[in-house]
Amino acid sequence: MLFFLLFMAIAHQQHHVGKKLEESLMKAFVTGGSGFVGRCMITMLRNRGDEVVALARSEQTAKQVTQLGARAVLGDLLNQQAMTQGMQDCDVIFHIAGYLSSWGKYADFYKTNVVGTECVLAAAQAANVPCFVQIGASAAVFNSQPLSQIDESYPLQQPQFSPYIATKSIAEQKVIAANRPGFRTSVVRPSWIWGNGDHALPQLVKAVKTRQFVWIDQGNYPYMTTHVANVCHGAILAAERSPGGQSYFLSDGDVVQFRTWLTTLLQIAGVKPTNLSIPRWLAWNIALLVETIWTITQRQDVPPITRTMIRLIGQELTFNDSKARLELDYVPIVSRDLGLAELANFINNPSGKM
């Protein structure tokens, strides 16, 4: 019964969205289509009636995007020729693929997040695609300080402690700089993308079960999130309505206390987090020490704690998404309560167990 009610609620919301956009169906090219956000994007586009072409790095990922209803084009982000051919007659590029990790070599992040984005931009322009939307990240404006009610006027950051944040920032600059008449570019900036099938929750569950989880400052700071369906919805609206050369924060429409939010997620997943907490300044210095050890010893695995990890989820992040609401008519299509109920149903389903 719960599954039926959830299905009807989501179907009603998607029908409402489709009703507004049904006169502007698109042929879209998607990078990262086999990933968490990419799968949702392909599904949402196909439900609208759009034609979708998806870049696939392997026969396996080609099969995955084909099963979702997209036509697969074999190639990677650096294969400009394959992308240009696959983008023929497309109306929009949704660039989702990227390298997300809390640890790694700067060159690896740069190759995927920056050079890869440059190649997708070049391919789109060679194929005369008129619109380009990148799924960026709110992290592109992160430095080491808490951020409270910022908007898009807050400058992009390239902190030395985080190759991920730095390269996402550079990639966004590349996309915005490419905007010109006949080639509209825009970037949407979600925060903590969550929903059925995300990768962060299983990692957190593992951390709790292996007793590697601790709170930072008790988790007592405000935070904002973006359900995966809201991310894709906002990106589609950007393709439809952005004048170009603009970035947009996207949120679930509310502010949550981080501890409450994470505790709720973990309880849905069947685990209870510890009450153990350390101050942020201590966590930051421990992370710096651990990173130094990993660098000196040239270890290949990911450290248990990094400054990127602490910055992404260890302190306040609140922002104003009124620009997306005013320019794009963005309104979240999945509420927090509905998303959590859907997630609980997904986890309780044997096929969705972690």
The DSSP symbol for 332 reads -
Distance CA 60, CA 66 (A): 10
**Helices assigned H by DSSP within 76-126:** 80-86, 106-109, 116-126
Listed residue (272, 255, 146, 138) closest to 204, CA to CA = 272
Q: Beta strand 147-150 with 226-227: parallel, antiparallel or unpaired? A: unpaired
Q: 312-339: string of b/e by CB count within 10 Å (b at 16+)?
A: bbbbbbbbbbebbbebbebebbbbbebb
Beta bridge partners of 63: none
Distance, CA of 101 to CA of 302 (rounded, Å): 9
Which position among 99, 164, 223, 330 bears the catalytic label?
164
Cβ 52 vs Cβ 42: under 8 Å: yes
∠ CA 84-180-99, nearest 5°, is 55
Q: Which of 76, 143, 176, 145 is nearest to 116 (CA)?
A: 76
Of 51, 6, 43, nearest to 232 by C-alpha is 43
Q: In the Cβ-directed half-sphere of 123, how many Cα atoms lie within 13 Å?
A: 30
8 A C-beta contact, residue 49 and residue 24 = no
- Distance of alpha carbon 336 from the chain centroid: 17
95: helix, strand or coil: strand
Q: Is 99 a catalytic residue?
A: no
Q: Catalytic residue positions?
A: 164
